Amino acid sequence: MEEQVKNITADEQQEYIINMGPQHPSTHGVLRLVVSLKGEIVKNVQPHIGYIHRGIEKMCESITYQQIIHLTDRMDYLSAHINNEVVCLAVEKALEVEIPDRIKVIRTIMSELTRIQSHQLWWASFGMDLGGLTCFFYGLRDREKILDIFEETCGSRMIVSYNCPGGVMYDLHPNFQKRVKDFIKYFRNKLPEYDQLLSGNIIFKERTKGIGRLSLEDAISYGVTGPSGRASGFSCDVRKHEPYSAYDKVTFKEILFNDGDTYHRYIARIDEMWESMNIIEQLIDNIPEGPYAVKMKPVIKVPEGEYYQRVETARGELGVYLISDGNKNPYRVKFRSPNFVNLSVLNHIAKGFKIADLVAIGGSLDLVIPDIDR
């Protein structure tokens, strides 16, 4: 007995298992991670999900296409507008409806505003995860301005449900153009502050550079898309590869890095905010005239067949796989959600780093839990 005790040293033999979540400030929702540790080093991370599983795919099978739009908001609530768009585009593609330019431009501007506000909230909470509380106030201060623009036009701040098959719900508010232009002017001055506050901070750099490195091969094999995948050099921007709405009319850069560590996943999102502002500026002064929605039948029956539509949300590639049997309800809807797939890489990249780094790595993947669980 004594001999056995002697042979076991705490850091070599014993694995210590701790439970992180489901209620934990750095998991940003009800995500539970079971972490195996040796000393401070992470040996294994097992995500346990499903705490907010609502069965959206099952619910979709018993409701109409217009109603599905309102469920997609509740998946990735920070990219609500883009989630709406994927269902609308799939239905429009199936019905072969020609969408006027005005709608396309409105959707693109709204999508980019959504992307900016999502990245702002991510930046705010990522800074807070790493101990910089000021970030939270800066981020939310600027995000409020976009939410005000949404409120004026869509009638809602976060869960906008502004898209509908065939167009958008309401026309733009008369103030829209002016307010967006004011915001861009304002935010072009404020975004460099983000860099001053966090990007150049030496503590922040020490905690993120070289941490949680993801190689290009692994990024593709694990299917990591969005800014997280592009930080590893995986060219996966759907806006470039398969342009939808008005993305084929604008010029913008696809942000690509090769390092694939936490720091570059961070920088990729900051750079994306600049690109989003560029896209909005190209479009905001020339919104074409025309109707804001095409007249659709009150009961939409999608022709029999299979349809796949993908869009780029703030977190990666969102796909919808729609099987229709010709009825007013879809036969099967599958959402390929970016967060669900991005979560699967967490164990792979967090291994061998310290538990404090796990928080940084998890934050840099920008997970939104309702999108994982659906």
Partner 1 sequence: MDKTELEEFIKSTDQDIEIKEGKQFLEVTVPTSKLHSLAKKLRETEQTQFDFLFCISGVDYGQDLGVVYHLRSTKFDHVVVLKTRTTDREHPQLDSVADIWNTADFLEREVYDLLGIRFTNHPDLRRLFLDNSWGFPLRKDYVDDINIVTK
Cis ω for the linkage preceding 330 (within 30 of 0): no
d(CA 162, CA 329): 21
Lookup result for tokens 């750079």:
271
**Span interacting with partner 1, options 28-36, 199-207, 281-289, 303-311, rule CB under 8 A:** 303-311
Nearer to partner 1 by Cβ, of 274 and 321: the residue is 321
For residue 120, give Cα distances in angstroms to 55, 116, 337, 341, 343.
Answer: 29, 6, 21, 22, 21
> β-pairing, 163-164 with 29-30?
unpaired
Which of 25, 192, 305, 326 binds partner 1 (CB under 8 A)? It is 305
The residues, any chain, with a CB within 8 Å of residue 343's CB and separated by 6 or more, are 31, 47, 49, 365, 367, 372
d(CA 112, CA 325): 34
CB of 339 vs partner 1, minimal distance in Å: 11
301 binding partner 1? (CB under 8 A): no
**Span interacting with partner 1, options 73-81, 206-214, 273-281, 343-351, rule CB under 8 A:** 343-351
| Count of other CB atoms within 10 angstroms of residue 304 | 12
373 binding partner 1? (CB under 8 A): yes
What proportions of the chain, in percent to the nearest 5, are helix, strand and coil? Answer: 50, 15, 35
Lookup result for tokens 């103030």:
175
**Span interacting with partner 1, options 52-60, 116-124, 166-174, 268-276, rule CB under 8 A:** 52-60
- Site pattern 167..206 for partner 1 (x: CB under 8 A): ----------------------------------------
CB of 160 vs partner 1, minimal distance in Å: 26
**Span interacting with partner 1, options 119-127, 168-176, 199-207, 218-226, rule CB under 8 A:** 218-226
Lookup result for tokens 């164990």:
347
Which of 141, 203, 306, 352 binds partner 1 (CB under 8 A)? It is 306
CB of 287 vs partner 1, minimal distance in Å: 30
Which of 328, 336, 351, 354 binds partner 1 (CB under 8 A)? It is 336
Which residues between 224 and 243 bind partner 1 (CB under 8 A)? 234-236, 241
Which of 97, 220, 287, 356 binds partner 1 (CB under 8 A)? It is 220
Q: What is the three-state SS of 32-55?
A: EEEEEEECCEEEEEEEECCCCCCC
34 binding partner 1? (CB under 8 A): no
62 binding partner 1? (CB under 8 A): yes
CB of 344 vs partner 1, minimal distance in Å: 4
The residues, any chain, with a CB within 8 Å of residue 338's CB and separated by 6 or more, are 76, 225, 226, 313, 315, 316, 317, 318, 371
Nearer to partner 1 by Cβ, of 288 and 326: the residue is 326
Task: Give, rounded to a whole angstrom, the gap between the first and last alpha carbons of the chain.
Answer: 51
Q: Are 76 and 83 in contact (CB under 8 A)?
A: yes
Residues binding partner 1 (CB under 8 A): 49-50, 53, 55, 57-59, 61-62, 218, 220-223, 234-236, 241, 305-308, 310, 317, 319, 321, 323, 329, 332, 334, 336, 340-341, 343-345, 348, 373
